[in-house]
């Protein structure tokens, strides 16, 4: 549910609850008004009350006064239902009609009652008749208007204050509920951001939220995951940098120490023999050449990592490129006694690539296969054009790469023999090769089978 839908639902519920509180307040005020009138309602005397007070002259007089006060009167009837006496001022002298009032009390103009009594052995009846319209006027007149209005006002004020208090309580609960729906996830998100700012990239939000907050949660979690991964990569890069600096120092120390020692011996005249001097100078030259080669390779590697570096891609025949590289190494392949097997299609395999950089990768792989394998090794070079991309393989059945080095073989300064010898290798060739293939959006893998112990496979996707 979106925040808009949630708020709309909350507002709807709030209107319903407030309306219910209003209805209850109105009912309370109405009940108070009814009660104020009910409390002031006069008790209407009946004929039976007169019979009951027949022996109480004072009580009887009081009852008669109450009847007359509401504009009623009393008719005394004999056994023939004839009026023998009127007590009060009659508004209607139709006795026979009055005796039939109970037949239709709802539409009767009077409230009437009849009760029989005896006097000196004769039977009589009291007929009490009170006009309905006069009764209502009398009741209203009888009530204390100021007191009644105060009571009604008290109930109305109670209803208003009750409505205000209940509405305030409902609004308070609603605001807390709605705020919690918004402020709680915002607080959690802010807490997560603070942890990210503090460098804690392991933070993850696990909340059941509205749709907008779900997007923020997922974005924050994704960002935290990327930052954590970037932080791990940064740590790994720092470790690689430290190791690379140590490897560079190691690779430079030996030749520079040799150059320094031989140059010092020649400078101080410690070497008198001419042949020995030439030997020292040759060693100095070789070591300086190795240092220069190492520095050139490092420079090339830093160039590939620079954000401004761009490949010079052109649509060309990648098979022809492989043939040219193989031809460049053909003499050393023959000298080493390597058995060469070429599997390159005769038809053109057109692909957009940087001829110089990709040629360097193929050259490096062929050179390593020739350099680190004994005579009689079978070297296979293959090119396959498939629907999803182009595959190139440089494979051999020679000495192979030690198992403990296979997982790190593409890291800088890792060499197949893990030695810092004088064979001319820098340990950067495969690292550079992987970077170049990566710049072509491809991949470089080290594989192995029972027949071919070392297989370098290059995959270039067709985009």
User: How far, CA to CA in Å, does 148 sit from each of 36, 37, 42, 328?
Assistant: 6, 7, 14, 120
Which residue would you say has higher pLDDT here, 135 or 219?
219
Q: Check: CB of residue 455 under 8 Å from CB of residue 369.
A: no
Q: Report the alpha-carbon distance of residue 178 to residue 182 in Å, rounded.
A: 7
Average pLDDT over residues 297-323: 85
On the 0-12 / 13-18 / 19+ scale of CB atoms within 10 A, 249 is exposed
Residues 6+ apart with CB under 8 A from 91: 71, 73, 129, 131, 134
The string of DSSP codes covering 113-157 is EEEEEEETTEEEEEEEEEEHHHHHHHHHHHS-HHHHHHHHHHHHH
Same domain, 112 and 21: no
- d(Cα 208, Cα 217) in Å, to the nearest integer? 10
Res. 68 pLDDT band, cuts 50 70 90: confident
Strand arrangement, sheet containing 73-77: 83-87, 73-77, 122-131, 110-119
Amino acid 146: pLDDT: 59
Which residue, 22, 41, 37, is CA-closest to 151?
37
Provide mean pLDDT across the span 361-381.
Answer: 92
Q: Is residue 58 part of a domain?
A: yes
pLDDT for the residue 95: 57
- Average pLDDT across the chain, whole number: 78
Decide: helix, strand or coil at residue 229: helix
| Residue carrying the six token digits 């059941």 | 208
Average pLDDT value for residue range 182-189: 71
pLDDT at 97 over 60: no
Q: Does residue 224 have a pLDDT over 90?
A: no
Q: Of 136, 165, 196, which residue is a domain's last? A: 136
Residue 207 lies in a domain: no
Structure tokens at 155: 């109930």
Q: In this structure, what are the phi and psi dihedrals at residue 394, rounded to the nearest 5 degrees?
A: -120, 105
Q: Same domain, yes or no, for 239 and 127?
A: no
> 432 and 327 share a domain?
yes
Q: Which residue has the tokens 């918004």?
A: 182
**From edge to edge, which strands make up the β-sheet containing 378-385?**
339-343, 378-385, 389-396, 454-461, 443-447
The predicted structure's pLDDT at residue 60: 85
Measure the CA–CA gap between 203 and 200, rounded to whole angstroms.
6
Query: Average pLDDT in the 360-375 region?
Result: 91
Question: Are residues 82 and 223 located together in one domain of the fold?
Answer: no
User: Of 415, 434, 321, 330, which Cα lies nearest the Cα of 379?
Assistant: 330
Backbone angles phi, psi at 354, to 5 degrees: -90, 110
Nearest of 373, 312, 380, 300 to residue 343 by alpha carbon: 380
221 lies in a domain?
Answer: yes
Which range among 40-44, 281-285, 322-326 has the greatest average pLDDT? Answer: 322-326
Q: Is residue 334 part of a domain?
A: yes
Query: What CATH number does the domain containing 60 carry?
Result: 3.30.450
| Full domain range(s) for residue 265 | 212-302
| Phi, psi angles (nearest 5°) of residue 293 | -65, -40
256 with 348, same domain?
Answer: no
Task: Please give the tally of structural domains in the chain.
Answer: 4
Residue 302 has pLDDT above 50, yes or no: yes
Distance CA 317, CA 355 (A): 10
In whole angstroms, give the CA distance from residue 293 to residue 256: 13
Helix (H, G, I), strand (E, B) or coil at 87: strand
Q: Are residues 248 and 267 in the same domain?
A: yes
Q: Answer yes or no: is 80 within a domain.
A: yes
Q: Among residues 103, 136, 169, which one ends one of the domains?
A: 136
Q: Domain check: are 347 and 286 in the same one?
A: no
d(CA 205, CA 54): 92
| pLDDT in the model for residue 136 | 52
> What residues contact residue 7 under an 8 Å CB cut-off, 6+ apart?
178
- Residue 356 tokens, joined: 């110089």
In order of 25, 48, 276, 371, the CA distances from 206 in angstroms are 44, 83, 76, 56
Contacts of 455 (CB under 8 A, 6+ apart): 393, 394, 395, 446, 447, 448, 449
Q: Residue 101's pLDDT band (boundaries 50, 70, 90)? A: very low
Give the residue with greater pLDDT, 188 vs 36: 188
Say if residue 250 is in the same domain as residue 271.
Answer: yes
DSSP-derived pairing of the beta strands 339-343 and 110-119? unpaired
Residues 317 and 452 in one domain: yes
Q: Does the residue 222 lie in any domain?
A: yes
Is the domain of 292 the same as that of 230?
yes
Which of 85-89, 247-251, 366-370 has the weakest average pLDDT?
247-251
Q: How confident is the model at residue 49 (pLDDT cuts 50, 70, 90)?
A: confident
Percentage of residues in the chain with pLDDT exceeding 70? 77
Does pTM surpass 0.95?
A: no
Instruction: Kindly state the helix (H) or strand (E) to which residue 392 belongs, with its residue range.
Output: strand 389-396
Residue 454 within any structural domain of the chain: yes
**DSSP β-ladder status, 339-343 and 378-385:** parallel
Residue 19: inside a domain, yes or no? yes
Same-domain check for residues 101 and 36: no
Same structural domain, 164 and 295? no
From 280, 302, 324, the end of a domain falls on 302
> How far apart are alpha carbons 301 and 299 in whole angstroms?
5
Of 19-23, 77-81, 174-178, 231-235, minimum mean pLDDT range? 174-178
CATH at residue 395: 3.30.565.10
CATH of the domain at 295: 1.10.287.130
């Amino acid at each position: 549910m979106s925040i808009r839908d949630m708020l709309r639902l909350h507002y709807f519920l709030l209107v319903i609850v407030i309306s219910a509180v209003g209805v209850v307040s109105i009912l309370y005020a109405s009940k108070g008004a009814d009660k104020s009138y009910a409390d002031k309602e006069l008790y209407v005397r009946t004929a039976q009350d007169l019979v009951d007070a027949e022996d109480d002259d004072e009580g009887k007089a009081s009852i008669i006064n109450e009847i007359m006060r509401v504009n009623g009167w009393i008719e005394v009837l004999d056994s023939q239902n004839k009026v023998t006496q009127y007590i009060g001022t009659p508004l209607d002298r139709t006795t026979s009609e009055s005796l039939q009032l109970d037949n239709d009390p709802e539409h009767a103009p009077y409230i009437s009652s009849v009760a029989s009594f005896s006097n000196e052995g004769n039977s009589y009846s009291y007929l009490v008749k009170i006009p309905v319209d006069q009764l209502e006027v009398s009741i209203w007149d009888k009530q204390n208007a100021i007191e009644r209005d105060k009571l009604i006002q008290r109930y109305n004020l109670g209803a208003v204050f009750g409505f205000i208090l209940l509405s305030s309580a409902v609004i308070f609960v609603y605001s807390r509920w709605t705020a919690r729906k918004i402020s709680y996830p915002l607080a959690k998100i802010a807490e997560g951001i603070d942890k990210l700012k503090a460098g804690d990239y392991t933070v993850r939000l696990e909340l059941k939220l509205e749709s907008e907050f779900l997007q923020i949660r997922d974005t924050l979690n994704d960002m935290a995951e990327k930052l954590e991964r970037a932080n791990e990569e940064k740590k790994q890069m720092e470790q690689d940098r430290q190791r690379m600096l140590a490897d560079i120092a190691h690779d430079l120390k030996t030749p520079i120490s040799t150059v320094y020692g031989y140059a010092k011996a020649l400078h101080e005249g410690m070497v008198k023999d001419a042949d020995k001097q030439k030997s020292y100078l040759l060693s100095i030259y070789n070591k300086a050449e190795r240092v220069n080669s190492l520095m050139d390779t490092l420079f090339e590697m830093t160039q590939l990592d620079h954000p401004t570096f761009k490949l010079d891609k052109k649509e060309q025949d990648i098979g022809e490129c492989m043939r040219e590289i193989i031809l460049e190494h053909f003499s050393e392949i023959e000298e080493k006694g390597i058995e060469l097997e070429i599997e390159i299609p005769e038809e053109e395999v057109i692909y957009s690539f940087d001829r110089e950089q990709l040629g360097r990768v193929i050259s490096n792989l062929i050179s390593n296969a020739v350099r680190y394998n004994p005579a009689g090794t079978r070297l296979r070079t293959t090119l396959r054009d498939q629907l999803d991309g182009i595959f190139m393989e440089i494979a051999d059945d020679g000495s192979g790469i030690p198992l403990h080095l296979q997982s790190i073989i593409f890291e800088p300064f890792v060499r197949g023999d893990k030695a810092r010898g004088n064979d001319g290798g820098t340990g950067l060739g495969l690292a550079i090769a992987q970077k170049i293939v990566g710049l072509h959006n491809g991949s470089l893998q080290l594989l192995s089978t029972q027949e071919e112990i070392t297989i370098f496979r290059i995959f270039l996707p067709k985009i």
